[in-house]
Structure 1
Amino acid sequence: MLESGQILAGRYGLSRRLADGRVTEAWLAHDRGTGDECVLKVLVAGTTDERAAFLAAARLQQAIRHPRVQPCLAVHDGTPAFAVFPALPGDASRLRGRPWTELVHVLRGVADALAALHAQDLVHRDLKPANVLIGDDGEPLLADFGLAARVGDAAALAGGSPYSMSPQQREDQPPASADDVYAYGALAYELLSGYPPHYPVAATELVPGGEPAPFAARLGAPAALERLVRRCLAQQPQDRPSAAEVADTLRTLAPDTGAVPSSAERRRVELRPPPASEAPIAPAWRPAGEVMPEPSALRSEGFRRGLMVASLGFLVALAGFVFFGLPRVVAQRGVASTTPLAPASTPAAAPAPRPPAPDLQKIAEAQRAFDELRPVVARRFESLEVRGAGRWDGEEYARGRRQLADADAAYGRREMAAALELLRASDASSQAAEKLAAPALAAELVAGAAAIEAGDALVARKRYSEALRIDPDSARAKRGLERAGTLDEVRRLVAEGAAAERDGRPDAAVAAYRKALALDRDTRAASEGVARVQGQAAESAYASAVSAGLEALARKDYAGARTAFERAGRLRPGAPEVTEGLAQVERALGDRTIGAHLAAAQAAEREEHWSVALAEYRSALVLDRNLLPAQQGVEHVEPRAMLDAELASYAERPERLLSSEVRAAARSVLERARAVPSPGPVLKAQMAAVERAVVGAETPMRVALASDNLTEVTIHRVGRLGTFERKDMELLPGRYTVVGVRAGYRDVRRQLDLLPGREAPPPLTIRCEEPI
């Protein structure tokens, strides 16, 4: 967190925070290198993509050289990243309602700046009063290139200011210079009339194709200027003039004498007592962006205010003397020097009562409360605008903005009590709008999930991006945006797996499904496909073994039949088909007695063929259900047969042990195996094989990664590795996706397969080398 007094880059000392947004903060700072005041725009949060976008916008502004574009003095790509700008008194917001002769100079300068941008195929895309700064000389400077993009760039960031976005920008169409011309018309409309177009209708309630209401400049304006503004606000891009044409038209309206008075000129105060007929002097709110007066100016201002108050008291005393003391003096002198006059036919009219003097203390208290609360409310509305509140809460948000504008208007009329009441109402509306963020976020997440299920990557990205605007820390929105980025490829792989299934190619189907799961582990269709294909393979193997056993019986190949049924028994222990098949084998032999069954069972036990032994004991019980040795043999052999089948399943399919749940089940089986007294060589070999497979699945393997120290490297399900030239690390066996990101270059993605029991793969190189 940034704090006053902190030094950035060993040069810039932070003085005070000017504004804050979702991922950036603006600070007034002191440049130790030059001794000048400057403004730092600091990136304090955000994703890797947002950092890249911030630096790209700052460098773009730094590269533009034009007298009407705010210069970017430096860009620092460190921690934190920030850009340096000259400190300026304020922005064009304080010019609302000024005479058109003052505004035309500002509008012409902005049009010149836009024309220069458009000549380079650049679009600003966020023109509004707050992004037009006014220098000490009264000249306008175009600022904030955070949304700037090339003409026609379909990958440009979405967004903009609700009241100044063109219909095409609101529909997320590719950037065009006509978007800036529309925003320019909205800027001129607001400065001349005092309110933005369509005011007070909320931006979310705008009807496509709807024309703004006709406006009237507060102090009048030429008809040609009003026609020009209306042309800029045309709904169709082809009906709007170019920025160069706008600038040329403005030059024909007035000579270059309409510059906004400089801050030094605005601070000149003429000391003279106010006439008795005028309203008492009330403090006036000054925009947050204006430079604060020096201590000497404050002392001078205090002297002036004291002089004004003394003058006002003198005038009140003088009026009292005129109305009460002077008539008595005149009457006494008239009696001493003249004879009494005859009474007039009509009595003299009594003087009109004077209105009560305003309570200056209450006015001052209201102004102080207004000045303290307004920056808080303004910052909250700026945050709501960045979070897209105009889209998900048009009513409270629009009401609050109207109340804030009305409060500023009342302040300008010096109606302090009314201004404070309106400001407090605006504060309440902004807080009410903030409370609606949670349900709006939930709705966007639900819509994004529905788009993922429907396979619409474009809608999913849009919904999850809106969710991140509302809550930049939403883990669900970030995960959803990741899934949307791979959705098209995942759907292609799932379709490829389904086609392989239909064609009877189970191995290809499983491979395609697993590739889809490597890109998006939450793809239900892929996980269900893997389980389905593997289940079908096991079922097919079991059916094949049973069928082979029955065919061997038909050929009277009893040894082959027994082998086939035993194989089926290992795939599905205790299955009735296996038991019946083995029984048929024994009955077919004809000459076997109970003793022979018992002997065969005991021989099978010694050889640790537990399923054969179990079948022999059960065959003996078929002949004599009360035979105690056979009953005891079943009780002893059946658990070993099940244990033998479980161990065999893990040893024959070790890839199953990559799952933590399967490894836990395997350990449980091993514990049961270790509890067997006097284990034989077959059991020991099975236990050793399963233990090796479990340990191999849990033993990290050494992996070497090579990069260029410029690419940001991330391993999915592992984490962000940052930039490096070579990194050696250990990873558990499995399949990993390695992604490289570098600003200005196309992302790269590599697959890393680590299989237990195999040698470590060669070093994997991950570099972004293809410029965008």
Structure 2
Amino acid sequence: MDVQPLGAPRPDSPSPSPSSSSPSPGPHPAAQEAPGVAARTVLIAAIVLVVLGLALMAGLQWLNRPPAPAASGAAATASAPAEADDPADGAPPAVTATPAPWDNPEALQARARAQALADTLAERITALEARAVTQWAAAPFAAAQAQQAAAEAQMRARQFSAAAEQYAAADAAFAALQTRVPEVLREALNAADAALQTGDAEAAGRAVALATAIDGDSAAVQAVAARLTTLPEVMARLRAAEAAEQAGDLPGAEQGFRDAVAVDGEMQRAREGLARVGGVQAKARFQQVMGEALTALDAARFEAAEAALSRAAALRPGDAAVRAAQSRLADARRAQRIDGLMQQASAAVADERWDAAAQHYQAVLAEDAHRAEAQAGLRMAQPRAALAAQMHTLISQPQRLYAPAVQAEAEQLLDSAQALAPAGPRLRGQISALQAQLAAARTPVAVRLTSDGATEVTVYRVGDQGRFTDRQLQLLPGRYIAVGARRGYRDVRVEFGVTPGQPVTVAIRAEDAL
């Protein structure tokens, strides 16, 4: 079949007559050609679109064609000539069309899910490799990679659902390995610490290397790596300290252990050695200080005992032996204070300072309320102190004895004082003084009154004396008032006192004329 070019004249079509080329009446030629040009443009565009669509479909079918299995590729190639040479097969082989994935929405969803899982796997693998997974989980990691490879093969075979399931299984395996990273790092750090504690540098090095590969930026990893570098120095100091301890050089051992701890504060062996040696030395110091305290206590050197017990309490706060010694010290000091107070009370009694004696006895009873000696002394001292104070008041203020009521009080005091036995010299002196003052207060004194013979004189509490120029009276000690009156003159008033044993002269004259 011959294909004619687009627009060429068909062979069986009649040739145009010469007359057809001549112009015919009608529209302008340009107006007749415009519809034809537009139609050709539309036709050409449609043909181009159809061609592009067919090319796109062919490309997609090629991309989604099932790949030939690697194992069966050679066999297929080898059998191809035989099939071509088979005389019985004269017809061309039948071609079975494979449905495209876009024809099955479920296949499209499965493929998208599988691809997303594949992307996640790539991220997990990168993260695990950054954590040196092959050093601590090589077999599980390889198994997960095998699952990943199987999923990729199923993807190539366009078995998208199966590939998605296989990818999911691989993803779970990789995720499980990721969750183990902190635990594996912790185990590596623990293994490194255990090896460092025993001084096994080789094992510690392996553990530190693994931890560094997993997370070299971790502060904990860097710290244990630093400890590994100082292990030889620490072990040397430890051996020297332990040798000094065995030799009985406790200060040297303590310093050695302290130096080891300064280099590696996490070395338990050094810390335990330091605590052990320090404990032995502390016990020795405690025993020495307690011995000093008890010796001073037995010798009644209470200040020294207190200082030693304070040092012992600082060494062992709350120790029962220290508390017992402190209680004993307190009792000894209290007994010493009581003895001193009793001695002072006895001295006050001897001096008849009854008020001071009573105060000392009261102080003793404040320390020991059941001290019988102090109780008896207080019963004796208090009334004597009160009596002595009252007698002292009267003796120091003799003018009070001029009053009859006070004289009666003095007599009662004298009776009480004379009833006390034994009476010391101080009491006897007070009795004598009060008796003398009481007698003087009861002895009249000569009082001379002078006047002008014209003034009427009256002495209160004594009586009218009339007019006189000179008169003698015997008056008891005390205060008196004399009044003089005279017709035509202003009254006169004179106050005077009478003191025991001292005669007195009083002039009373009304001389101020009205």
TM-score bracket, shorter-length normalisation: 0.3 to 0.5
**Rg larger in 1 or in 2?**
2
Alignment TM-score, normalising by the size of structure 1: 0.28
Alignment TM-score, normalising by the size of structure 2: 0.40
